[in-house]
Amino acid sequence: MMLCRQLNLAEVHFIMSKNAYFPSTHDEQIVWLSHYSLKIPINGPVCGISDQEINDTQADLSYYIWMLQHWHPSVQRDAKDSTVYKTMMVSGSGNATINYPLPSVFPNAPAAPTPGIKNRLISQINRIKVSLSYTDALGHDLGIIASTNTTEHLVPIPYVLVELGNSGQRVAISFNKYGHEGVWIECRINGGEWTFLAIDTLKPYYDERPMTGDNIHETREYRLRWWDKSVPHGEWSNVQTVLLGA
């Protein structure tokens, strides 16, 4: 049973007005959804979310991410290719036979859930926010606290995701700048020393370094600080961890 706390007026207005933490672009949504899916098994039980609901949420988000990352771009590309082909066949010229473009196929598509993925997600987040166990630190870790005021964002909030790049696995690090010039990024590998990785002013930053030595698997941890006027400053973000080679 979930125990709820009394909301203050600002929290009620936030929940009733809009979900400002949810990104507006598909690329940002993919990163945010992947981050939330990674964190909900850790933070959900603290706020009364059952194991079954967490499993259902991860299935929802897996399908949501697949639609944004694979299905939707592919069918849009198919539509454009079909229009180009139709125009060429009707109005073009030439002696060679050109077959029509084949539509995309999705052999590894995840199982489709019932409609209303985002509605279920937002409902879950709202229930987490009224749990007696909810804290701002937990909200930041889940990525469900939003603000456009730089003074309220004392640290960056990174979203880290392993994806397939041009030369193999890479780590995409996304963040909102909230008026800052950029971020200072450090990384440590397999529990080693923290080392400077990059200064980034355009999200996402891609860590495309190959795994070190003869490693088959490699744990990478990332932390960020604000970077303004050529100086890193402020506290470190929460450490985000990924596993390469999985």
Q: Where a domain ends, among 97, 123, 146?
A: 146
Same-domain check for residues 104 and 124: yes
Same-domain check for residues 180 and 240: yes
Q: For residue 187, what is the domain's CATH number?
A: 2.60.40.10
Same-domain check for residues 177 and 63: no
Residue 22 CB partners (closer than 8 Å, separation 6+): 29, 32, 122
The pLDDT, as a whole number, for residue 96 is 83
Q: How many domains does the chain have?
A: 2
Q: What is the pTM of this model?
A: 0.58
Q: Where a domain ends, among 85, 113, 146?
A: 146
Same-domain check for residues 102 and 181: no
Same-domain check for residues 8 and 118: yes
Instruction: Give the C-alpha separation, 73 to 152, whole Å.
Output: 36
Same-domain check for residues 177 and 79: no
Phi, psi of 58 (to 5 degrees): -65, -35
**SS3 readout for 137-165:** HHHHHHCCCCCCCHHHCCCCCCEEEEEEE
pLDDT at residue 150 is higher than 60: no
User: What are the tens digits of pLDDT across the range 165-201?
Assistant: 888 899 999 998 888 999 999 999 999 999 999 999 9
DSSP 115: S
Banded pLDDT at 3 (limits 50, 70, 90) = low
Residue 89's domain comprises 1-146
User: What are the tens digits of pLDDT across the range 47-70?
Assistant: 999 999 999 999 999 999 999 989
Instruction: Give the C-alpha separation, 107 to 204, whole Å.
Output: 29
The sign of the dihedral angle between the CA atoms of 2, 112, 158, 26 is negative
Same-domain check for residues 210 and 239: yes
User: What are the tens digits of pLDDT across the range 207-246?
Assistant: 999 988 777 889 999 999 999 989 999 999 999 999 998 6
Q: Where a domain ends, among 125, 146, 167?
A: 146
Same-domain check for residues 12 and 97: yes
Answer whether 183's CB lies under 8 Å from 225's CB: yes
Residue 3 CB partners (closer than 8 Å, separation 6+): 48, 131, 132, 133
Same-domain check for residues 91 and 113: yes
The sign of the dihedral angle between the CA atoms of 74, 113, 20, 229 is negative
Same-domain check for residues 203 and 239: yes
DSSP 109: P
The sign of the dihedral angle between the CA atoms of 63, 67, 69, 71 is positive
DSSP 214: T
Task: Quote the Cα angle for 212-215-220, to 5°.
Answer: 65
Same-domain check for residues 141 and 40: yes
User: What are the tens digits of pLDDT across the range 98-107?
Assistant: 888 888 999 8
